[in-house]
Amino acid sequence: MRATQTRPTGVERTFGVDEIIVTKTDPRGVITYANEVFLRTSALTEAEAIGQPHNLIRHPDMPRSVFKLLWDTLEQRQEIFAYVKNLAADGAHYWVFAHVTPSYTADGRFAGYHSNRRSPDKPVVTEVSRLYDRLLAAERGAPNTKAAVEAGWQAMLAELGDQTYDEYVWALTTGAR
């Protein structure tokens, strides 16, 4: 675990379009597996990553409302696709197109979560960044965390209109937006 809070440096890190970041967590979101691409991109060693909460890589530029949507979806045992800006241990950031799914044991018991992440296209990151900036602005004006999440959620609903976040993500991913 990081001894001190990592400060973003503004340096962007990328990984190959043919590479996939993979992590697995237990039901509480504690990392139980991390592949080499995750470790390299996040600037963590395996010993630093395993046993830590996955939010170890949470970037302060990520709206709380997006994580609320992610966790609400996963708690319903549904998969989610999301664009996420992560914070590496050395302060660099990296964007991912994440696919997170619930995991089950061979006998069908819920075991945790599995996440595959690919490198997103630059124009998509630009578009998503604009949305996230507006959500963050709404969240920053709130008096507490709960109110911030709600403000971001309401801003997301207003920004997306009749479209769900899933529809927004897929429109970006397929080039329909």
The reported pLDDT for the residue numbered 4 is 53
pLDDT surpasses 80 at 177 = no
State the fold for domain 21-169: Beta-Lactamase (3.30.450)
Cα torsion at 61, 65, 68, 70 (round to 10°)?
-70
More confident residue, 121 or 176: 121
Lowest mean per-residue pLDDT among 2-6, 7-11, 118-122: 2-6
pLDDT surpasses 50 at 3 = no
| Percentage above 70 pLDDT, the chain | 97
Alpha helices in the chain (DSSP H): 36-42, 46-49, 64-75, 122-140, 145-160, 165-174
State pLDDT tens for residues 36-84. 999 999 999 999 999 999 999 999 999 999 999 999 999 999 999 999 9
- Kindly state the helix (H) or strand (E) to which residue 17 belongs, with its residue range: none
Each domain of the chain, given as residue ranges in start order, spans: 21-169
The reported pLDDT for the residue numbered 95 is 98
